[in-house]
Each structure stands twice: as structure tokens, then as C-alpha cells.
Amino acid sequence: MKKIFSYALVLTLLLAILALPTVAEGTPTPKDEVVYGLLNADGSIQNMYVVNGFRDKNITDYGDYSYLQNMTSTEKLSQMGDKITIHSNSDTFYYEGILQTKELPWNISIHYMLDGKKMDAKDLAGKSGQLGLDISITQNQTVNSTFFKNYALQLAVTLDNKYCSDINAENATIVNAGSKKQVSYIVLPGNGAHIHIACKVNDFRMEPITINGIKLALHFSFDSVSFTDQLGELTAAIEQLDSGAGGLLDGIFQLKSGMGKYVDGVNKFTKALPALREGIKQVDSGTTELKNGLHALTQQNEPLVNGALALQKSTFDSVNAQLAPMHLPLLTPENYSQLLDNTPSFAAVKQQLDSMVQFTQGMIAYTSGVAELSNGAATLCEGTSKLAENMSPIITAVNGLYDAAVELNSAVKRLYDGLAQYKKGTLQLKNETDNIEEEIEKKIDEMRLEILGNPNEIISFVSEKNTNVNSVQFVLKTEEIKAVYVDRPELAQPVKLTFWQKLLKLFGLYP
């Protein structure tokens, strides 16, 4: 009977265990990682450990640790290879693990100079002179590049005013903290740094240099909707401008063809002296029409130039409005090339502005050419009229007429070539501004990613098996440079002897 009861009890317990909910074996528990690194004064790694934080009681974690320490309770951590497990009674649990491999995503190198000579940090304590501190930060190619590309570094060097003065640190933020000055730098994700700090020191000592690796959390507010309508109007105006330039080019082409024929006619005229009088009348009539036509054409010069300048101003205003959140200097036709020349991320914007400036300059050149042509036509007309009235210097006048016609024809050709370049510029401007809104949005997103890194890419520094990591932070500090004081033994004070003691010592009877 007892045996049957025992079997029934065992079966009941097995069924109860099988009925319990199960968790996939080996699934890593969500956690936060804080990587602590103690660096030597030269930046090399002395020791590294990680504090892992959990908000769970049944914990599974992974990491290659040489030593584990429960920081929350007395329960013992179980370590099987790189797998760490524990059941804790606390809602939040922390444990520390010393890493087997001591590698950081950054190579950090620190060098010290005193009065122009290299010195080890251990020899600097208590020294005086002109100190040079150089810190070099580069990517460690042996560590997953995700951390170098997406984490910023906050570096702080604290200098005591009692021991340090005349601090010179280019591109640093220097703040007063009581009797000390804190020299701070921020190294953006994906960037290295070469930092130089110089100061005068007296009886030198220095607190640890601290370096924190974090994900930047900066908010960029950019409202593209506010200027989308303006950009739409701009692109529509550019299309109209390109269409108008095409029509204008066709007209100038016809003028160019007409001028070619006109020059040929003048040439034939010089050879037809017997029929000169009749020819002069025809030329005079033609030049009068030409003068009137060009005069009418010059009436459009001012509106065309003003329109081009207004379009140029609108383009620069629009680009400046788009780039205002980046706090760049105000772009103008005079300074934009210098400001944007060495910035690849603004190449598309610079190309757009180049096209606009070229277009404006082409329009000014065109109107100048029209004015020049009109003046030449007026002069030509005056010459033909005088020629018709005065036939005596016929040979000289005819030759001068021909020369003027050749020059005028050359001017028309130059005008046509300039307008052809202008048309090419308007077409290029049209093509390059078709998707200007999308291009600007894309460039701003690229710049944001370049400055802040990818905020969504969070992986474990300790082990790729830890797939539920909420955050990773690096907290690094160097050794302190402090003066070493040597204890000196106290000198024994001479013992005062009495008269009888002195007497006994004289005969060797007193120790």
C-alpha cells in the first residue's frame, strides 16, 4: 500500500512540474551594461569590468568573465562557460564581472611633456615647469565598429588652480569648479581626436582623467513643411525661366542668321559700286529697322536683370532657411563658395547655388550684349543715313560700313554663344531642382546620423549572445598623478644623564 501511494505521489509531482509555464532555455534577460575601465596614466588599459543591471528575478546572461560578484544579495551566481544564471528575490539585480579580454572600441594614448621633454606620468608628480598633455583617440579595429560609429566620448581633465595656471586648450570647454578648472571635450560618433593641453605647473599633481562613452541624445527640430510651398514656387519659376530662355535663344539664332546674311550683303555691296546709290538706300532702310528692333529689345533688359537677381535672392533665402537649424553663417553670392567648398555633404546645395549664380551672371552678360548691340545698330544706322546724304567719300564710307557690319555680326555671335550657355545653365538648374525637397531632407538626415550616430543600434559590448540590451555605457578613468611622500624616521633624542650615571659611564659601568 505504501509503495502504491509513493508511486502516485511521484506521478502527481511530475504532472505538476510539467504543468508549470516554461521559458526558453538560454534566452538572455533584458539588461543595462555599464563598462568600467581603469586606465594607466598613459591611457593603456589596466583593468576592465562590467556592471550588469536587470529588472527581473530569473536571470540569464552571457559574458567571458574571470571573476563574478553579486552586488545585490548573497545568492551565488552560476557560471557555466560564458553563461551566467541566477534566481534573485530582488526586483532589481546587479552583478559585476571582470572581463577576460581587455579591449575598448577606442585606442587611447596619453603623453606628457615637461619643458619640451617627454616624461612618464609617475615622474611628473611634484614637478614644476611648462606641461604639455597630448591625448590621442583612434578607432580600435579589433573591436566591433558599432560602438566607435555610434557612441560619443565625453572627456574631462580636472586641473587644480593651486598647481596649474595659464591653461591653454584649443576647442575645449573650460569651466570653473571651485578651486579647479575642468577642461572638457566631446568627441562625436565615428570620429577620433587629437587633444593638446598646455599649462604652467608647480608641484604638479592631477586628478584622474575621465572618459565617458555614451549615445548622444540631442533633439533636432526641422520643419520642412514651412518652406515646401516656396520651393514649389521656385521650381515652377525655374521651369518657366528655362522655357523662356529656349524661346529667347531661338530668337537670337534667327538674329544671328540675319546678321550673317547682312554681312554678306554689305560685302556684295562693296563690289557693286556702279549700283551703289540704290544699294545705300536699301541698307539705310534695313539698319533703321534693325535699330528700332534692338531698341525695343533693350527695353526688356532691366526687367530681365531684376528678375534674375530676385530669383537669385529667393534661392539663397530658401537655402538659408533650410540650413538655419545647422547655425551656419548666412550664405550670400559672395561667400557661399568659400563656406561650402570643403563640405562634401553640402555638394548638392553648392551645385544648386553655382547654377543660380551662373544663371544670374549669364543674364547680366546677355543684357549687356543687347545694349552693346543696340548701340552698334544706332551707330550703323547713323552711318548709312550719312552715306546716303553724302556720296563723295564713297569708298571710305563703304569700307567702314563693311567693317562695322563684321563687328556687329561678331557681337551677335558672342551674344548667341552667351545665351546658349545661359540656356544650358537654366536647363541644368531645372534638372537639379526637380527633387530639391527630397534632396535637402536626405542631406539633413545624413548629417543628423553623422553627428549623433544610429540611435536604434544597441548591441551588447560583452557578448553577441546578449540580444536584449537596453543600454550600454562606458565609464573610464586614468590613474591619479599624486605626490609621493616618504616617511622619514625620527632621530633619537639624546638622553640626559645624571652626575652619577656620567661617572659610571666614564668607567664603562653604565650601558
pLDDT at 412: 80
Residue 290 has a pLDDT of: 81
Judge whether residue 12 has pLDDT over 60. no
Domain boundary residue, one of 452, 472, 494: 452
**290 and 348 fall within a common domain:** yes
- What pLDDT does residue 198 have? 97
Count of alpha carbons within 13 Å of 107, Cβ hemisphere only? 7
Cα pseudo-dihedral 402, 407, 413, 419, rounded to 10: -140
Q: How confident is the model at residue 329 (pLDDT cuts 50, 70, 90)?
A: confident
Please check whether residues 308 and 404 belong to one and the same domain: yes
CA dihedral 425, 431, 432, 437 (to 10 degrees): 140
Q: Which residue has the higher pLDDT, 340 or 202?
A: 202
Contact, 62 vs 88, CB < 8 A? no
407-448: pLDDT as tens digits: 887 888 788 788 788 878 877 776 777 666 666 666 555 555
Predicted local distance difference test score (pLDDT) of residue 252: 84
Amino acid at 220: F
| Residue 7, pLDDT above cutoff 90 | no
Predicted confidence at residue 502, as pLDDT, reads 56
Instruction: Please check whether residue 21 lies inside any domain of the structure.
Output: no
- For residues 34-47, average pLDDT: 96
Mean pLDDT for the stretch of residues 474-484? 91
Higher pLDDT, 183 or 367: 183
Amino acid at 271: K
Residue located via cell numbers 529588472: 55
CA angle 182, 188, 192 (to 5 degrees): 90
Q: Give the pTM.
A: 0.53
- Domain identity same for 50 and 94: yes
Residues 391 and 251 placed together within one structural domain of the fold: yes
Same domain as 299, residue 176? no
pLDDT digits (tens, 9 = 90+) for 258-311: 878 787 877 777 776 666 667 677 777 788 878 788 778 788 888 888 888 888
Region 307-319: mean pLDDT is 87
Q: Mark whether 347 and 377 lie in a shared domain.
A: yes
Check whether residue 191 and residue 251 sit in a common domain.
no
Q: How far is CA 135 from CA 147, 195, 371, in A?
A: 20, 5, 64
Query: To the nearest whole percent, how much of the chain has pLDDT over 90?
Result: 40
Residue 404 lies in a domain: yes
Instruction: Taking residues 76-97, report their average pLDDT.
Output: 94
Contact 85, 23 (CB under 8 A): no
CA atoms of 440 and 321, how far apart (whole Å): 11
Where does the pLDDT of residue 200 fall: very low under 50, low under 70, confident under 90, or very high at 90 and above?
Answer: very high
Tell me, yes or no, whether 211 and 268 share the same domain. Answer: no
Based on the domain organization, do 146 and 279 belong to the same domain? no
Bridge-based pairing state of the strands 469-478 and 106-114: unpaired
- Asked if residues 95 and 52 have their Cβ atoms less than 8 Å apart, the reply is yes
What's the pLDDT score for residue 411? Answer: 84
Write the CA distances from 18 to 15, 22, 25, integer angstroms: 5, 9, 15
Single-letter amino acid, residue 72: T
102-136 pLDDT, tens digit each: 999 999 999 999 999 999 998 999 999 999 999 99
> Is 14 among the domain residues?
no
> CA separation (Å) from 235 to 131, 248, 314?
59, 20, 11
The DSSP call for residue 206 is B
What average pLDDT does the segment 35-51 reach? 96
Per the rule left: phi > 0, alpha: psi between -120 and 50, beta: everything else, 223 is beta
- Can you give the pLDDT at residue 126? 93
Q: Residue 9 class from Cβ within 10 Å (0-12 exposed, 13-18 middle, 19+ buried)?
A: exposed
**Residue 492 covered by a domain:** no
- Closest C-alpha among 291, 263, 288 to residue 406: 263
Q: Write the pLDDT tens digit of every residue in 214-264.
A: 987 655 555 555 556 666 667 777 777 777 877 877 888 888 788 787 878
How far apart are alpha carbons 235 and 248 in whole angstroms? 20
**Is residue 97 one of the residues assigned to a domain?**
yes
369-416 residue pLDDT tens: 888 888 888 888 777 777 767 765 676 777 777 788 788 878 887 887
**245 and 349 co-located in one domain:** yes
Q: Which alpha helices (H) appear in 347-456, and where do they start and end?
A: 347-389, 394-432, 436-452
Whole-number pLDDT of residue 35:
97
For the segment 459-487, the average pLDDT, to the nearest whole number, is 89
Residues 365 and 418: beta-carbon distance below 8 Å: yes
Percent of residues, the chain, with pLDDT higher than 70: 78
Q: Are strands 173-177 and 180-187 parallel, antiparallel or unpaired?
A: antiparallel
Question: Residue 368 — very low, low, confident or very high, per pLDDT cuts 50/70/90?
Answer: confident
Is the Cα torsion angle 395, 397, 403, 409 positive or negative in sign? negative
Residue-range definition of the domain harbouring residue 306 = 225-452
Q: Are residues 256 and 283 in the same domain?
A: yes
Angle, in degrees to the nearest 10, between helices 436-452 and 347-389: 140
AA identity, residue 433: T
User: Does residue 502 lie within any of the structural domains?
Assistant: no
**Does a structural domain hold residue 395?**
yes
Q: Among 47-51, 279-283, 486-490, which is the least confidently predicted range? A: 486-490
The four Cα atoms 370, 371, 375, 381 give a dihedral, to 10 degrees, of: 40
Q: In which residue are the cell numbers 538572455 written?
A: 28
Q: Looking at the structure, do residues 271 and 200 belong to the same domain, yes or no?
A: no
Whole-number average pLDDT of the chain: 81
* pLDDT of 139 over the 90 cut: yes
Domain count, the chain: 2
